[in-house]
Structure 1
Amino acid sequence: MIGRVNRVLLGLAGLILLAVGGGVLVTGLGVSVPSWWPFDGKGDVLLGKGDRDRWRDEGWWWPTVIAVLAVLALLGLWWLLSQLSRARLSEMLIDSGDGEGAVLRGKALEGALGDETAALDGVADSKVRLAGRRTAPKARIRLRMEPHGAPARVVRELSDQALAHARDSAGLDELPAEVRLKAVKHRAERVI
């Protein structure tokens, strides 16, 4: 989701800057502009003294300015924090049975689960990512299916074999998984 938000924010900022900058450039070059355009000549300023002082005496002006700036600051802070958050689980806490516990690297479990998933019949390639909390991980698995692969059988084997092995080896009660299947592009086979 954050990728979409980044693209939308960058697109909006680009459009606004392009429109304002293009308008100022066109006006500065002396091209005639419509009557509603805020700039009308080479010597015109962006905000004149009258425009800057127009709303100062109104009672609603400063609360509105402060509210808008506060909302923008909160949105900027949310965006910054979402950039810094990790989508990938780096490590998990495992109950080792001795009361101490152990730490399992997320990449190690991702690699083992990915290798076992890629070895399933009908799977050309697999990518595994772990997300969630350290004590309750979730797997996100992307499978590229070969032309002869049966999706129902592959998902059943994934659940019964690969996910069960990962769940048992990590000592987890459950390991929910989101599986996305995609077919490998291939040429049509010629029937003789």
Structure 2
Amino acid sequence: MNQIKQIIQTFNVTRQHDPSVVPAVALGAGGALVLCLVLGFVLGPLLLWIPLALFAMIATALIILGRKAQSASLAAIEGQAGAAAAVLQSMRGAWEITPAVAFNRREDMIHLAVGPPGVVLVAEGTSPARVKQLMAKERRRFDRAAGEVPVTEVLVGDGEDQVELKKLAFHMAKLPRAIKPKEVGPLNRKLSALKASAPPMPKGPQMRRAPKKYR
């Protein structure tokens, strides 16, 4: 029952930000149902295809809802300070995320992500030039501490050589692997001395994770 309530809540919240979720879910689920029933008529026996059709309809609806919910969450936080940190913290897998290991009064921030690619410094801010200066300073610190583990820079934004917020999680997942998942924790602890006292993060909308059933 709790999962059903969570799905209904996710649907209602998503519909407020993106009304197209209603026709998208309806068309997708309906299309899956019709396709399975047509296959049942053609290949038979139809009675065996009916349960499969119902399962396909529900699964398709949940997949579409999950993707729409993620897009709505990104739209809600985009442009806010700390938005990149929210996306990083929503990632699945062997990642250790520390928001705002470096920051300034203009809300430029460097976030630390330790994972299979090694050390990844993710920067966000309103001025690319200012963010690059902050990144260069932090890169030197983490290069010394990381030793032979690679340190990768990622700048979040819409400009050249930057990664859009909506593509950040995908970009992180595609980075070349450098260390094993079991090495992530020890490396993160090794770098803990370099972590600054994080500023208070904004209380705006947070990145919401889709329920496990349709992630």
| Superposed pair shares fold, TM > 0.5 | no
Q: Comparing both structures, which one devotes a greater share of its residues to helix?
A: 2
More strand by share: 1
TM value normalised by structure 1:
0.36
